[in-house]
Amino acid sequence: MQKYFDRELSWLSFNYRVLQEAINPEVPLIERLRFLAIYSSNLDEFYRVRVASYMHILKLQKAEGLEQDAGIKKLLKKIKKTVNKQQTEFGRIFNKELIPLLEKENVFLIDQDQIDKEQHQFLEKYFDKKVKPHIEIRDLKEKKKTFLKNKGLYLTIEITNNEAEKSYYLVNIPTSKAGRFTVLPSQKGEEVIIQLSDVMRLFIHKLFPETEISQCYAVKLTRDAELYLEEEIAETIEERISTSLHKRKIGDPSRFLYDEKMPKEMLKIFRKKLGVKKDELIPGGRYHNFNDFFGFPVPDNDKLFYEPLDTLNHPTLKDYPSYFDAITEKDFMLHFPYQNYNHVLEFIEEAAVDEKVEEINITLYRVAEESRVCKALIGAVKKGKKITVFNEVKARFDEELNMHWGDKMKAAGVNVLYSFDELKVHSKICLVKRREDKKLVNYAYFGTGNFNEATATIYCDHALLTKNKALTKDLEGVFNFLIGKNKSPEFKQLLVAPFSMRTQFEALIDNEIKLVQEGKIGKMTLKMNSLEDRQMIKKLYEASNAGVKITIIVRGICCLIPGVEEMSKNIKVISIIDRYLEHGRIYIFNNDGDEKLYLASADWMKRNLSHRVEVGFPILDKNAKKEIKKLIKLQLKDNVKTRRLNMTQSNPYKKSIAKKKVRAQFDFYRYLEEKIK
């Protein structure tokens, strides 16, 4: 009997849940288009990281004369089959549903065969001035190997001369220079848009005068994005990251996306010249890189979008003259993106200028490009404060930005510490030391999401501001480990990976099992992004078999198989995909009625529990607990955006006989809004 879903196939099931939002006719039209962009962006990263890693293993095995792993080969075939099926659905939704619906709203995405004379003249000037200067033509007859940029878009060209001889060329589509979309002159009340690849198809003859262009198709290559740091020989982690970032740009191909209408013989010619293997081929439609549809020129029509929700201030936090006065009085719970992330920024900015503050310690994983947090820390050190920043430069795809801010802070005098070799620091914590009545008093920030004001507008996360002595003392222990003062810290209140988080979670589950054995109720509700760690899954199976009732809300990967007799009968798993990205981790244990509630930066994945520095923190304040429990209650009642994770991974929407619709994200916003009123 199968005990676990495969991690990669489970991830593809999650991405299909994203695609379901594009399929769903109840989602506003432009939002459906954006969900296609999210799906496409997710899939790109999946191929660049996960698929590329498996292909790297096979390549190494072949190079060393070893037999290639049959299990990996089988998995890659399943991945390809699943992706092909999803891509077909993707194309159908875009071409057969979204394009006609856009046209009903007088938004026309046309190709080169649909333009009129005026538009032709407009585009010719545009092509000559904005596009042509950035075009590079590569002749496939050249002896040197043709290199395609990662995620770059290209046109494959077949030209036939007078003697009926065929030549093949590759032409880049310079979207970064000329833009993906162009709005054309049109009648009043209409918006007519054309894609850059179609503009190039229209004028491609200008690049090949006196020839006949017989075939023209778009392609895209995805490359391995993993940083194989163990292969680098350098003094510091920064140097190794820098070297590996260059290699990422020229990594091995992991996916070659092509127009399925391209003739097989032509595809074969380009595949061989570009060094692409058969198993790296993925058929697609006429257009690729749907991630660019985040920048689709949007019409001025409110009904095509989600209803606007004004960001809420905390109902009482804003009334205090100082954040330190507020936190001295009580704990404060914040919920993003519903509530204003400025509260966090203002707390750090106040600490940076407050004369009584002597130290600020913080961990940074992903920061905004124009980070107010980093700017505040630079300002603080200039005022003579001791600032220590643990800057995780191994945060995938944010390595360069993190190094940029690390360099700026270091130059200003901030004590910047970088990644450990074997551990990522993924915790979202800040400790402020303030001199009050001749004593240093600790103020703490604990969060489930990054110190990033940009992503805080779309990620659902939670944060705690507290002065609780037990919590802040434990937090001091975390920073003492990070700066190298204590290599074996112990914690009384916090759950800290890789030290005690796993064993403490297991103890909390064991307690629920014990309660059931004593004839009491055993119950837990777990909310996370991913559930992959087999040791934790085994423990959940054990609890289920003992009679503990378990409800799991998981956004992404779930390797646990729910609802199986004699294994997971008492486990129910749901997933919510909606307007915002569910990102908060919440763990609630019934504990015989005296509930224990933790928030954390960690999912239940092996990497989080064993190979990262993560912090889980208890919610002790009654009002804060009430807010978190209200959120969970709404999510469990959600009958609009909830999918049920089942044994077939088919993601059916939750069926409900309730007349009242419950949509957790919107209803939680209303709940927080009412608290202000």
Query: Catalytic positions, please?
Result: 426
CA–CA gap between residue 88 and residue 23 (Å, rounded)? 13
Specify the DSSP class assigned to residue 127: I
Q: Is 264 exposed, middle or buried (0-12, 13-18, 19+ CB in 10 A)?
A: exposed
Instruction: Quickly count: other Cβ atoms within 10 Å of residue 187's Cβ.
Output: 7
Provide the edge-to-edge strand list for the sheet that holds 281-284.
137-139, 166-172, 153-160, 212-223, 253-259, 281-284
All residues at 6 or more sequence positions from 14 whose CB lies less than 8 Å from its CB, including other chains = 555, 556, 557, 558, 575
CA–CA gap between residue 539 and residue 549 (Å, rounded)? 13
Q: In 121-238, at which residue ranges do the beta strands (DSSP E only) sit?
A: 137-139, 153-160, 166-172, 181-184, 191-195, 212-223
> What tokens were used for 349?
């900015």
> What tokens were used for 404?
């940029």
CA–CA gap between residue 366 and residue 378 (Å, rounded)? 17
What is the enclosing helix (H) or strand (E) of 625?
helix 622-637
User: What is the amino acid identity at position 12?
Assistant: L
Q: With b meaning 16 or more CB within 10 Å and e meaning fewer, what string describes 46-83?
A: bbbebbbebbbebeeeeeeeeeeeeeeeebbeebbebb
Q: β-pairing, 166-172 with 153-160?
A: antiparallel
> What tokens were used for 477?
């222990």
> What tokens were used for 593?
């009625």
> What tokens were used for 316?
């009482």
Q: Are 158 and 216 in contact (CB under 8 A)?
A: yes
The residue among 590, 512, 580, 630 whose CA lies nearest residue 35 is: 580
Terminal-residue alpha carbon distance, the chain: 54
User: What is the amino acid identity at position 226?
Assistant: E
> What tokens were used for 438?
């001749």
Question: DSSP per residue over 234-277, as a string?
Answer: -SSHHHHHHHHHHHHHTPPEEEEEEETTS-HHHHHHHHHHHT--
Q: In 43-189, at which residue ranges do the beta strands (DSSP E only) sit?
A: 107-110, 137-139, 153-160, 166-172, 181-184
The residue among 378, 388, 375, 365 whose CA lies nearest residue 451 is: 365
Q: Provide long-range contacts, Cβ within 8 A and 24+ apart, for 12-17.
A: 12/46, 12/79, 12/82, 12/83, 12/86, 13/649, 13/651, 14/555, 14/556, 14/557, 14/558, 14/575, 15/39, 15/42, 15/43, 15/46, 15/86, 16/86, 16/651, 17/575, 17/577, 17/643, 17/651
Instruction: Quickly count: other Cβ atoms within 10 Å of residue 220's Cβ.
Output: 23
3 state SS of 464: strand
